[in-house]
Amino acid sequence: MKKTPNPIDKHVGSRVRMRRMMIGMSQERLGDALGLTFQQVQKYEKGTNRIGASRLHQIASILGVQVEFFYEGAPQAEGAPPVVSDGLSETPTPPYVADFLSTTDGLHLMRAFMKVRDPKVRKRVVELVEALAGDDEEQPAEELEAIEAVR
């Protein structure tokens, strides 16, 4: 009987993949830094192999993020109490943002956008993309609220 990966393990693995891709690092290079094969990194990223606490700390260090990054937007276990924010941390990233950034197009767009230093030019780029995307009414309300919050 084939065991399906735990949703949290899949989420953590997908966040490892997303961050690795965001900084342009290959699975092979991450594996070398960890003393592992790229196949093991692949298994971590798919959630088929669990990442231990010390290994996750090592990965976070290599990828330049805090360990908490890998748990942002993670699904809650059944019956778990709701997560309460202390009001001091950033608003969690909506799942559709993480999904988009884990795509090749999303990563290319994000990398290119980050290279634009002038805030006025960035604003114009956002306006251009919105104009190309079409009518605002086609976007889910949740996405529109997130866009407005960024402005």
Mean pLDDT, rounded, for 36-54? 96
Domain assignment present for 26: yes
pLDDT(147) > 60: no
Give how many domains the chain has, as a whole number.
Answer: 2
Identify the band that residue 3 occupies on the pLDDT scale cut at 50, 70 and 90: confident
In order, the DSSP letters of 37-67 are: -HHHHHHHHHTSSPPPHHHHHHHHHHHTS-G
Domain assignment present for 140: yes
CB atoms within 10 A of CB 13: 23
CA distance 128 to 115: 17
101-139 pLDDT per residue, tens: 778 888 888 888 888 899 999 999 989 988 998 865 555
| Cα–chain center distance at 8 | 14
Sequence-ordered alpha helix ranges (H) in the chain: 7-22, 27-34, 38-46, 53-63, 95-101, 104-115, 119-133, 141-150
Domain assignment present for 84: no
Give the residue numbers spanning the domain of 29: 7-71
53 and 102 co-located in one domain: no
pLDDT(144) > 70: no
Q: What's the whole-number average pLDDT of the chain?
A: 82
60 and 11 co-located in one domain: yes
Give the pLDDT confidence score for residue 149 in this predicted structure. 56
Domain assignment present for 2: no
Give the pLDDT confidence score for residue 39 in this predicted structure. 97
Give the pLDDT confidence score for residue 87 in this predicted structure. 46
Give the pLDDT confidence score for residue 142 in this predicted structure. 59
56-89 pLDDT per residue, tens: 999 999 999 999 999 988 887 666 655 544 444 5
CA distance 105 to 111: 10
pLDDT(97) > 80: no
Give the pLDDT confidence score for residue 115 in this predicted structure. 86
64 and 100 co-located in one domain: no
Provide, rounded to the nearest whole percent, the portion of the chain with pLDDT above 70. 75
Q: Read off the tokens for 123.
A: 């604003």
Question: Residue 12, exposed/middle/buried by CB under 10 A (0-12, 13-18, 19+)?
Answer: buried
CATH number for 15: 1.10.260.40
Give the pLDDT confidence score for residue 111 in this predicted structure. 83
